[in-house]
Amino acid sequence: MKSKLLIGCLAILILSTQTPLLAQHSAVSPDHRHSWWTLRNDAVNERVRQGNVDLLMIGDSITHGWEGGGRKYWDLYYAHRNAVNMGFSGDRTQHVLWRLDQGHLEGISPKLAVLMIGTNNSNGNDNTAEEIADGIIAICKRIQAKCPRTKILILAIFPRAPEPCPQREKNAKASLLASKIADGKMIYYLDINDKFLEPDGKLSKEIMPDFLHPNEKGYQIWARAIEPMVAKLLGKRPFEPLFNGTDLTGWEASGNAKWTVENEQLVGTQGQDNAPGDLFTTASFDDFDLVASYRAEWPCNSGIWFRFQNPNKAYQADILEWKNPVCWSGTLYCPGKMFLAMNTDEKLVNRDGWNTMAIRAKGKNVKIWLNGTQVADVDDDTTDSGKVGFQVHPGAEFGPMKIVVKEILLRPLGK
């Protein structure tokens, strides 16, 4: 009898080791969703298969919104960092787990994954704070298992609702519990929620109109708040704004063009009788990455000066439509040498909307990208340092031209 009992116990033990334990609750049980979600999942997997992925942004509709209200700041901060948006509207922790098992991490080893998930789990009695934290931790462990060299930055679940409420408190508790997995080596935790809230804890519609999803201003706050940590974990120096959105501190005007700040945007127009002018930083820079978001009112002949020492010793990333030779914005101009590289593809220009110009100046090499496409790669030794600026060109044929700059970011490159 004892031998039979022993054999039975051994059989149960063997079966238990061969059968995976079922998850205890929904937040840690990988789950698939509906048709559009599958299509987006396939699209993300296709992007991953192309490789060259350094940064992942993982989450729900709030992260998905980098492709909507946050697009301008995605282009400024992340597009040139080989980033992939893995935000899916409506997702919960269990849906992220499913996606990570279905191709999102295949064949890549990103430097950093930024994770912000859980607010949809907190609806009603769907999940407790402890369960949501379990889901976030499970995602981190899944990333570590599939991409062991990838660092993870957990963001506290963003505040929701006009005022403090039980659901916001549940999310805050879940975030704090999940933060315990952060070891300061491969997993980090950051709470930026105070950046969105008033001193009394209220959430402004000027930042999140529905008290859940950021608008453009909200995404600007998000990008700026995490930039120092993101840059650190990517092993780079952070991008910092050269324009404060309030006044012209740090800038100085030359000539008779008009430079004003309107609605947190830098605006340049011709002066009286179509007079020209420039606006320069008071500081000089040598090697750097620069990214600017701008739009033009046509006809326009403008550009971004860089390494400017004097009118004969400088470079400019042009904002123009030139007829002879035919070229467009993104063309690299150098006084005395004319065009060092020309953008001949008109389709790259968003003529009536916002454009993103990126410039890298390192040693004798200068590269320019317009809206994500490289348009210049030149070696030249005209100047190795100088100021950054904007130009308003003279002439009635360009009047009444206007250049509007939403943001200009710069990070120095190490020697």
Name the active-site residue from 64, 95, 104, 213. 213
For domain 241-412, the CATH architecture is Sandwich (2.60)
**Sequence-distant (≥ 6) Cβ neighbours of residue 232 within 8 angstroms:** 238
Res 14: pLDDT: 37
Look at residue 12 in the predicted model and tell me its pLDDT.
Answer: 38
Assess whether 29 carries a catalytic annotation: no
Give every residue of the chain whose pLDDT is below 50, as ranges: 1-22
Predicted confidence at residue 23, as pLDDT, reads: 52
- Which of 3, 35, 200, 210 is catalytic? The answer is 210
Give yes or no: 213 in active site: yes
Amino acid 401: pLDDT = 85
Per-residue pLDDT, 121: 97
72-110 as b/e: b if 16+ CB within 10 A: bbbbbbbbebebbbbbbbebbbbbbbbbbebebbeebeb
Distance of CA 31 to the CA centre of its chain: 28
Nearby residues of 156 by Cβ (< 8 Å), 6 or more positions away: 116, 171, 172, 175, 176, 179, 189, 190, 191, 192, 193
pLDDT by residue (tens digit) across 155-183?
Answer: 999 999 999 999 999 999 999 999 999 99
pLDDT for res 1: 44
Topology agreement, domain 20-238 and domain 241-412:
no
Domain-by-domain residue ranges, the chain? 20-238, 241-412
User: Which residues 6+ apart lie within 8 Å of 358 measured at CB?
Assistant: 80, 289, 290, 291, 292, 368, 369
- Domain with residues 20-238, CATH architecture: 3-Layer(aba) Sandwich (3.40)
Task: Quickly tell me which residue has 């301008």 as its tokens.
Answer: 72
Compute the distance between CA of residue 7 and CA of residue 247 in angstroms, rounded to an integer.
82
pLDDT, residue 415, reads: 54
Q: Which pLDDT score is estimated for 298?
A: 87
Q: The whole model's pTM is what?
A: 0.89
How far apart CA 250 and CA 255 sit, in angstroms, is 17
Is 61 noted as a catalytic residue in this protein?
A: yes
The residue whose two tokens read 């090697």 is 287
User: Catalytic residue among 61, 80, 204, 287, which?
Assistant: 61
Residues 80-102: tens digit of each pLDDT = 999 999 999 999 999 999 999 99
